[in-house]
Amino acid sequence: MSLGMAITVAPLTTTVMNSVGEGEAGTASGINNAVSRTGGLLAIAVLNIVLVGVFGGILEPRVSSLNLPAGVRQAIAGQYSRLAGIEIPRGVGGTIQAAIQQAINDAYITGFRTVMLICAGLALASAVISWLMIAGKVANRAGSAAAVEQHS
């Protein structure tokens, strides 16, 4: 993800700044930064909702299948937002505790993988959109340059 950001952010910022005149550079920079930060905040919020949803969706049936006392199930369910940091209630036997911990770990890994697949898909989609948009601009510029040469 860091490599992808390093490859895309600098060229994107350069493109934005080169597309405006000197008098509009401050506004363009401000808008670019605001959009970038807003996108990051929204991504974190939405992806966190996805992670917690997938985590709970995977963990709940696994915990239910262990035939735990209702109090233990409720104590675990009340901590879903803690993700892999869920504390297993005291008094749970060693084998059952290990099964609960394995269920927690599996649910977290599944949620994390889901979020990473979404990120990869979004990165791929943005690369395709950028390629299509830039390819169109290059073709338009090449055609404009050829037209200028013909009139010269």
Query: CB–CB of 107/59 below 8 Å?
Result: yes
Residues sharing a CB contact under 8 Å with residue 79, sequence separation 6 or more, in sequence order: 85, 86, 87
Helices (H) and strands (E) in the chain — how many of each? 4, 0
**Predicted pLDDT at 39:** 82
pTM above 0.95, yes or no: no
Tens digit of each residue's pLDDT (9 = 90 or more) over 10-22? 777 887 788 888 8
Tens digit of each residue's pLDDT (9 = 90 or more) over 101-146? 999 999 999 999 999 999 899 888 888 887 887 765 655 555 555 5
**Predicted pLDDT at 10:** 75
Binning the chain into helix, strand and coil, the percentages to the nearest 5 are: 85, 0, 15
Provide the residue count of the chain: 152
Considering only 22-26, 85-89, 147-151, which range has the smallest mean pLDDT? 147-151
